[in-house]
Amino acid sequence: MGKICLPIALEQNDIAKLDEVVKRNRVLHKGEHVFHMGDPFTSVFAVRSGCVKTYQVMDNGDEQVNGFYFPGEVMGLDGLSNQTYASSAVALEVTSVCEIPFAKFRQLTQQLPELQMHFMQLMSQEITAEQQLITLLSKKTAEQRVATLLLTISERNANRNMSASRFRLSMSRIDIGNYLGLTVETVSRMLSRFVKSKVITIERKEIQILDQEALLQAASLDHLPNGLSHRAISRCMC
Amino acid sequence: MGKICLPIALEQNDIAKLDEVVKRNRVLHKGEHVFHMGDPFTSVFAVRSGCVKTYQVMDNGDEQVNGFYFPGEVMGLDGLSNQTYASSAVALEVTSVCEIPFAKFRQLTQQLPELQMHFMQLMSQEITAEQQLITLLSKKTAEQRVATLLLTISERNANRNMSASRFRLSMSRIDIGNYLGLTVETVSRMLSRFVKSKVITIERKEIQILDQEALLQAASLDHLPNGLSHRAISRCMC
DNA sequence: CGGCCGGTTGACTAATTTCAAGCAGGGTGG
DNA sequence: CCACCCTGCTTGAAATTAGTCAACCGGCCG
């Protein structure tokens, strides 16, 4: 990581300070939690490698998947308001995370206005990402939702110099459906439809995008999604 | 306002400083904008009286209503990430807002860690409020959505010492439908259903809740909604 | 070798949207 | 001051989408 994780606006000196605060290299196996809903809020976390989903358990006992987090993305920001995490975060595969203990971090922000600003921008990004999801859930059809998710993951991959056209969906179809407000069956049908029309290929969890144009059209987007789950990305915390 | 707007954790002295920064008493008529999507981000705003809706215009030209803001609630937080507002905010009735110019505010937060914390908590509240909306859109039926909205507004009214059982819906049915991911017709039908079953009465835009229990049941909530659109509330900025 | 879980597929059902018509209040112009 | 119109709202019937129920498939693990 190292080089690409340089905080853009900080001086060499300040980086070292931040570096002291961040706990790196906590490794989780599939199914292990980063934090649980209701736990006292102590830290925010950045994904280094792997994939994490966040979810809430509602009154009636069922689950709402709130997001998927890829390397560089920051989670746990919802815990600040109540001093307890508003959601749970669980690894979907072998995953490594950085922990940023909030109390120490706060002391640091008071010395480093740039860092404070960066953190507030992270939270703002999380807000706009959620607004994108709200629009998707409120206005889009099943086909558009699935297409949008594929494009979003593709783009997020591209942003971290991985293949935009070929990737692994580490989350289950159930999680995808839950996240997109659809049933598993509907997700499966939409994916099958895309396969049949030669827009993608699927081999278990491996996805290959054959026709990005067609996907964009299916998602009803004029351009690459400048939003959905452009989760809070921090190059300076991972 | 005065008394109830005291910032909880600040000293008398500090309040004065904050007071200098905040521009009070900008009054908007129905249909006037607080800010427009894409405008350069300069300030966050708190509603003092009236009601504001925020919305985005999507590629295809149609609108997504993202939220309704009542007195004490803070909007514009989504503008921080890009330095431009990610949504537009428009008054739904005669409305008074406070403007908090962000540049000055930021200087202040550097002197007052408590204020910095308060602001970050506001953003976190906005995140959790949006998560509630995501769950509603993803998992709830039309009836549950409408019931939840009514209860939420009722509760928010109660929080500011107004009647929880009788209030005015200043937003149109179209806006409600848009916000809840439903068509106008469906919203209208659900409201009519509640009227027929004597759960509420409607007289134009005036709503009276006759049977809160039944509404809670219709919303499938065990208790008062501890969430949906518990928008970022700041007692210290209005 | 089963059994099980996750995923796919098909037929049917239920919910919401769409289309269409009608109603009512508020504002405008004669 | 009244008639008219426009907009927002309501209601009904038809159409469509996604959900439900059920069967089945296939890898993976014990």
Shortest Cα distance, chain B CAs vs residue A111, angstroms: 8
Contact yes or no for A137 and B138 at CB 8 A? yes
Please tell me which residue of chain A has the smallest CA distance to B230: A81
| Greatest Cα-to-Cα distance within chain B, rounded to the nearest angstrom | 57
Q: pLDDT tens digits for B12-49?
A: 677 777 777 888 889 999 999 999 999 999 999 999 99
With vertex at residue B192, the alpha carbon angle to CA B188 and CA B196, rounded to the nearest 5 degrees, is 175
CA-to-C1' distance for B185 and D9, Å? Answer: 9
pLDDT band at A2 (very low <50, low <70, confident <90, very high): very low
CA-to-C1' distance for B204 and C30, Å? Answer: 29
pLDDT band at A9 (very low <50, low <70, confident <90, very high): low
Chain A residues with CB inside 8 Å of B54's CB?
A: none
Among candidates A133, A144, A229, A156, which has minimal Cα distance to A193?
Answer: A144
CA distances from B103 to A112, A132, A229 (A): 16, 27, 28
B148 Cβ contact partners less than 8 Å away, ≥ 6 residues apart = B136, B140, B219, B221, B225, B228
Residue from the list B127, B137, B223 with its beta carbon closest to the beta carbon of A138: B137
Contact yes or no for B64 and A130 at CB 8 A? no
Q: pLDDT tens digits for A184-222?
A: 999 999 999 999 999 999 998 999 999 999 999 999 865
- The answer to whether strand C lies under 7 Å from the CB of residue A174 is yes
Report the pLDDT averaged over residues A13-21: 77
B207 membership: H or E segment, kind and range: strand B206-209
Instruction: State the count of interchain CB pairs (< 8 A) between A and B.
Output: 134
Return chain B residues 147..186 having CB < 7 Å to nucleic acid strand C. Answer: 181-183, 185-186
Residue from the list A87, A109, A120 with its beta carbon closest to the beta carbon of B131: A87
* C-beta of residue A72 within 8 angstroms of C-beta of residue A47: yes
Q: Give yes or no for residue A23 having a pLDDT over 90.
A: no
Q: What is the pLDDT of residue B230?
A: 63
Whether this prediction's pTM lies above 0.75 is answered by yes
Q: What is the pLDDT of residue B5?
A: 40
Q: What is the pLDDT of residue B12?
A: 67
* C-beta of residue A47 within 8 angstroms of C-beta of residue A235: no
Measure the CA–CA gap between A59 and B143, rounded to whole angstroms: 17
Q: What is the DSSP code (8-state) at residue B120?
A: H
Please tell me which residue of chain A has the smallest CA distance to B140: A181
Q: What is the pLDDT of residue B184?
A: 98
The span from the first CA to the last CA of chain A, in angstroms, equals 8
Report the pLDDT averaged over residues A101-112: 91
CB-based burial label for A94 (10 Å; 0-12, 13-18, 19+): middle
Contact yes or no for A130 and B128 at CB 8 A? no
Q: What is the pLDDT of residue B49?
A: 92
pLDDT band at A106 (very low <50, low <70, confident <90, very high): very high
Measure the CA–CA gap between A143 and A149, rounded to whole angstroms: 10
Q: What is the pLDDT of residue A229?
A: 57
Q: What is the DSSP code (8-state) at residue A55?
A: E
Q: pLDDT tens digits for A125-184?
A: 999 999 999 999 999 999 999 999 999 999 999 988 889 999 999 999 999 999 999 999
Give the pLDDT of chain B (238 residues) as one tens digit per residue.
Answer: 333 344 455 666 777 777 778 888 899 999 999 999 999 999 999 999 999 999 999 988 899 999 999 999 999 999 999 999 999 999 999 999 999 999 999 999 988 888 899 899 999 999 999 999 999 999 999 999 999 999 999 999 998 888 999 999 999 999 999 999 999 999 999 999 999 999 999 998 999 999 999 999 999 865 555 445 567 676 566 6
DSSP A141-203: -HHHHHHHHHHHHHHHHHHTTS-SSEEE--S-HHHHHHHHT--HHHHHHHHHHHHHTTSEEEE
Among candidates B27, B87, B108, which has minimal Cα distance to A131?
Answer: B87
* C-beta of residue B66 within 8 angstroms of C-beta of residue A136: no
Among candidates A74, A71, A21, which has minimal Cα distance to A51?
Answer: A71
Measure the CA–CA gap between A150 and A145, rounded to whole angstroms: 9
In order of their start, the domains of chain A are 12-130 (2.60.120.10), 134-229 (1.10.10.10)
Phi-psi region of A131 (alpha: psi -120 to 50; beta: other; left: phi over 0): alpha
Which residue(s) pair with B44 in the sheet? B100
Three-state SS at A64: strand
**Protein residues contacting strand D, judged by Cβ under 7 Å:** A 141-143, 181-183, 185-186, 204; B 172-174, 184-185, 187-189, 191-192, 202, 205
